[in-house]
Amino acid sequence: MKSLILVLGDQLSASLSSLRAVDPATATVLMAEVMGEATYVPHHKKKIAFLFSAMRHFAEDLRKRGFSVRYVTLDDPDNSQSLFGEVRRAVADLQPGNIVVTEPGEYRLMQEMRSWQRKLNRPVEIRGDDRFLCTPDEFREWAKGRKQLRMEFFYRDKRRRYEVLMEPDGAPTGGQWNFDQDNRKSPPKGLKGPKRVSHRKDAIVNAVLDMVEERFGDHFGTLRPFHFAVTAEQAWKEYEHFVEKVLPNFGDYQDAMVAGEPYLYHSLISSYLNAGLILPLQVIRRAEKAYRDGKAPLNAVEGFIRQILGWREYVRGLYWTQMPGYAERNHLNAKRPLPRYYWDGKTKMACMAAAIGDTIEHAYSHHIQRLMVTGNFALLAGIEPKQVCDWYLLVYADAYDWVELPNTLGMALYGDGGLMASKPYAASGKYIDRMSNFCGSCAYDVKRSTGDKACPFNALYWDFIARNEKVLKGNPRMTTIYASWNRMDEGKRQDLRQAAADVLGRLDAL
């Protein structure tokens, strides 16, 4: 009997474990576009279009490799519109001897798949996803006995294991592990990112775009223009362009934000990595080669590699170690609803309007916009973590639960109580002013903390410090901040708390 191999929308890799060492004559590959996965949160139109287009192209590649592919389009009249429904339908039609799948990236799907063997009366083999560079079991072993799970130490272990930017004597290249201090330059006036690669849309992409516009017209974001790579070849072409033309400046300006420049010197490959079109170790080796060949400086290459070998692998490990309870954490007891401008970008706060506007248009904003603008504002204002996490999951093309939840709940919102971050990533408008050109055109004055024209981030920052004092004061990294707060004149503190109350009272109208 044949095997039924299920390939998910974020598993578009020729080397996928479920496809490895398989004789195409003995297996049928099932791929399915289903409403259940497209709407469990109402994903950005571009995210849906990207994944469906990439899935259809990957199915064509599998057919060229000799596989029999059962591909169920969203508009198939027999589509059950659920992943399990399509597996069950394929089992009824094909009567496979067993079902094989590579482990999914989301806890909810893993739990569902573990019930399939019983429900379908067929052996279900869930294989590990070795496209990642650290298994959940390996991360669990690394985390054992640690009170705090700091990415820096995990990253060093991975550098050693994969011999990335390491010297023969075992020392890190350049004599230090981390060049982050060199990667925080403010944007000079007139800073613009280079032109990016665009791809000609074929009939598959155009058909998907039309379908998404028709069926998901009420979802978040704009659909056209659409510039995503949808094949491995296109994705690698974009990455090569990044390495050759963009990477040299990535380090200096990776934290910079400029109005009208959503990309600057960022790689834009996270969607492709997370969907499997390109693989992390290939990406890392190519960036390392650029440094060894003298084509990119060490601070840029190390900073870029740290995001993939360090941060990406770390958040996945943390996710699988901490779920399912992790999703329910709310260490700071934040309860306010998400402000309406997270959905339409219509706010007088220039930084928020820019970050959300980029998100609406591109299903993308870079990590500092996510962490220090939209995330920071949600932290300061005390927005309920579940609402913020759902927003991040649906608005970004690279967002899957395993990567979005730790980054949002743990890093941006400190909702896990410091398991990830050594302190809350809270900042006033001063940080945004230093790292962007947003404040010069803002309706609010970044130098003011009280009054109708004051930057809302400023009073909210001190209010955040004050209202969370019992929870945070014992944190050694907060000692200086609380010393500053307690040295303030009592009248000034009251003015700041009142200004914050005024801001929170008109939160939707900012």
**Residue 58 and residue 51: Cα distance in Å, rounded?**
10
**Residue 246 and residue 492: Cα distance in Å, rounded?**
46
**Residue 284 and residue 204: Cα distance in Å, rounded?**
31
**Residue 395 and residue 22: Cα distance in Å, rounded?**
36
Looking at residue 184, its pLDDT comes to 83
The mean pLDDT of 492-505, rounded to a whole number, is 96
The mean pLDDT of 374-384, rounded to a whole number, is 98
pLDDT of 1 strictly over 80: no
The mean pLDDT of 64-69, rounded to a whole number, is 96
Domain with CATH 3.40.50.620 in the chain: 3-127
With CA atoms as reference, report the closest residue to 254 among 294, 207, 306, 212: 306
pLDDT of 147 strictly over 90: no
Residue 383: phi and psi, rounded to 5, are -80, 140
Local structure of 90: helix, strand or coil: helix
Domain with CATH 1.25.40.80 in the chain: 136-197+228-322
**Percentage of the chain lying above the pLDDT 90 cut:** 95
The mean pLDDT of 474-488, rounded to a whole number, is 94
Can you say how many angstroms the Cα of residue 126 is from the centroid of all Cα atoms in its chain?
25
Looking at residue 182, its pLDDT comes to 78
Looking at residue 221, its pLDDT comes to 97
Looking at residue 224, its pLDDT comes to 96
**Residue 190 and residue 291: Cα distance in Å, rounded?**
27
Is 341-509 a domain of CATH 1.20.120.420?
no
pTM passes above 0.75? yes
**Residue 27 and residue 1: Cα distance in Å, rounded?**
9
1 or 453, greater pLDDT: 453
Mean pLDDT of the chain: 96
418: alpha, beta or left, given left = phi > 0 and alpha = psi -120 to 50?
left
Can you say how many angstroms the Cα of residue 52 is from the centroid of all Cα atoms in its chain?
19
The mean pLDDT of 208-236, rounded to a whole number, is 97
Residue with tokens 């960036």: 287
pLDDT of 149 strictly over 90: no
Angle (CA) 23-28-33 rounded to 5° is 135
**Residue 258 and residue 266: Cα distance in Å, rounded?**
13
**Residue 503 and residue 505: Cα distance in Å, rounded?**
5
Looking at residue 460, its pLDDT comes to 98
Which residues does 161 contact at the CB level (< 8 Å), separation at least 6? none
Local structure of 204: helix, strand or coil: helix
**Residue 87 and residue 120: Cα distance in Å, rounded?**
9
CB 165 within 8 A of CB 159: yes
pLDDT of 364 strictly over 90: yes
Looking at residue 345, its pLDDT comes to 97
- Superfamily designation of domain 3-127: HUPs (3.40.50.620)
Looking at residue 492, its pLDDT comes to 95
Looking at residue 145, its pLDDT comes to 87
What distances in angstroms separate CA 90 from CA 23, 83, 98, 336, one per listed residue? Answer: 19, 11, 12, 45
Domain with CATH 1.10.579.10 in the chain: 341-509
Mean pLDDT is lowest, of 19-28, 114-123, 336-345, for: 19-28
Looking at residue 139, its pLDDT comes to 96
Local structure of 200: helix, strand or coil: coil
Looking at residue 21, its pLDDT comes to 85
At the top level of CATH, the class of 136-197+228-322 is mainly alpha
Looking at residue 138, its pLDDT comes to 96
Residue 180 DSSP symbol: G
- CA dihedral (322, 323, 328, 332) in degrees, to 10, reads 20
pLDDT of 304 strictly over 80: yes
pLDDT of 148 strictly over 90: no
CB 321 within 8 A of CB 136: yes
Residue 333's identity, in one-letter code, is N
Alpha carbons within 13 angstroms on the beta-carbon side of residue 324 total 6
The mean pLDDT of 304-319, rounded to a whole number, is 97
Mean pLDDT is lowest, of 23-27, 242-246, 447-451, for: 23-27
With CA atoms as reference, report the closest residue to 329 among 398, 409, 444: 409
Looking at residue 74, its pLDDT comes to 97
Strand 68-72 versus strand 98-102 pairing type: unpaired
With CA atoms as reference, report the closest residue to 73 among 212, 260, 259: 212
**Percentage of the chain lying above the pLDDT 70 cut:** 100
Looking at residue 204, its pLDDT comes to 98
Local structure of 233: helix, strand or coil: helix
Residue 150's pLDDT band, with cuts at 50, 70 and 90, is: confident
172: alpha, beta or left, given left = phi > 0 and alpha = psi -120 to 50?
beta
Element counts in the chain: helices (H) and strands (E)? 25, 5
